[in-house]
């Protein structure tokens, strides 16, 4: 049995007319009838009932038609996978990200990506912005989710969204009856934040916000990821100032978020990558992550 036998059978089964099926296949009717007869002889069954007026499938023919349809569908799927493998979508896509991005969105995109590129391996690396820039430039990362500014002539940068800041304090019954009371509370509170060498631009944002409120923060505790900072705040070891989008990601923690409506300082979340990177999976990731961004 050859693939052409199955194609001929499928076409006759769809048309239920040998002449029309032959025309679709660009062959004459006698060779088509001969091929169907050979197939029936090999299977030792009758696939079609033939009369002067019509052609119908036998019960065996109906079952075989369903199997042949499934076989051709699987063949088309295999052809598509082979094309993807041929175009290089079977290697590895290395994605850098910072801890202060909404990771649930990233997980949703990766699930969709796995369906689109089943032979692609994706590797995630939680890396601070400065390290990401270097690794992107040197090709150790394919794409980075990080915060501006990205000071590199080697990378293309696409804006995702602007993220305002909020003050994060332990969840208590404390109320601030005035802005002055709130500022005085912050002045006397220990701050928990990123190390200056780890995230210098981020650190400068914190200093700028506090100075706009008239004081310099007392950074007592430092950590290298957002989750650790929030856990320390939850434990009552101090306060912090973090991007507003984190409220969705860490809603389960017992902390309170206070907006800074009168201080127009925000941080820009961006994608960065090399334009020379021709990996088709990279193009897909950038398009879907950017166009479906939620925070």
Kindly list the domain boundaries of the chain, sorted by start residue: 3-86, 92-160+268-291, 163-267
Which of residues 198 and 274 earns the better pLDDT score?
A: 274
pLDDT over 70, % of the chain: 95
Please tell me if the domain spanning 3-86 has the same topology as the one spanning 163-267.
no
pLDDT score, position 128: 86
E strands present in the chain: 48-50, 55-57, 92-97, 121-126, 143-147, 156-170, 190-194, 218-223, 240-243, 255-259, 266-273
Q: Is the pLDDT of residue 295 over 70?
A: no
* 44/41 Cα distance (integer angstroms): 5
3-86 CATH fold: Arc Repressor Mutant, subunit A (1.10.10)
- Mean pLDDT over 194-222 rounds to 88
Dump pLDDT digits (tens) for 108-154.
Answer: 899 998 888 888 889 999 888 889 999 999 889 999 999 888 989 99
CATH number of this structure's domain 163-267:
3.40.190.10
Report the percent of the chain where pLDDT is more than 90: 45
pLDDT (0 to 100) of residue 92: 84
Which is the CATH superfamily of the domain at 92-160+268-291?
A: Periplasmic binding protein-like II (3.40.190.10)
């Amino acid at each position: 049995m050859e693939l052409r036998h199955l194609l001929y059978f499928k076409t006759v089964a769809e048309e239920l007319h040998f002449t029309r099926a032959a025309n679709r296949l660009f062959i004459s009717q006698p060779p088509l009838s001969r091929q169907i007869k050979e197939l029936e002889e090999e299977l030792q069954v009758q696939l079609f009932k033939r009369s002067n007026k019509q052609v119908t499938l036998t019960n065996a023919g109906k079952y075989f038609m369903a199997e042949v349809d499934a076989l051709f569908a699987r063949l088309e799927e295999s052809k598509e996978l082979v094309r993807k493998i041929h175009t290089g979508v079977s290697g590895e896509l290395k994605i850098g990200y910072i801890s202060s991005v909404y990771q649930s969105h990233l997980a949703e995109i990766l699930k969709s990506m796995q369906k689109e590129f089943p032979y692609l391996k994706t590797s995630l690396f939680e890396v601070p912005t400065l390290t990401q820039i270097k690794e992107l430039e040197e090709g150790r990362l394919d794409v980075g989710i990080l915060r501006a500014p990205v000071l590199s002539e080697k990378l293309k940068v696409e804006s995702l969204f602007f993220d305002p800041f909020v003050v994060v304090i332990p969840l208590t019954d404390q109320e601030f009856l005035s802005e002055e009371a709130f500022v005085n509370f912050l002045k006397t509170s220990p701050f928990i934040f990123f190390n200056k060498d780890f995230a210098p631009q981020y650190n400068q944002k914190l200093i700028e916000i506090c100075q706009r409120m008239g004081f310099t923060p007392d950074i007592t505790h430092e950590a290298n990821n957002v989750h650790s900072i929030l856990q320390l705040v939850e434990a009552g070891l101090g306060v912090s100032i973090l991007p507003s989008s984190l409220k969705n990601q860490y809603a389960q923690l017992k902390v309170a978020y206070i907006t800074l409506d009168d201080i127009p300082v925000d941080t820009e979340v961006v994608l960065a990558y090399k334009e020379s990177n021709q990996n088709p999976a990279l193009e897909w990731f950038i398009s879907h992550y950017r166009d479906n961004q939620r925070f």
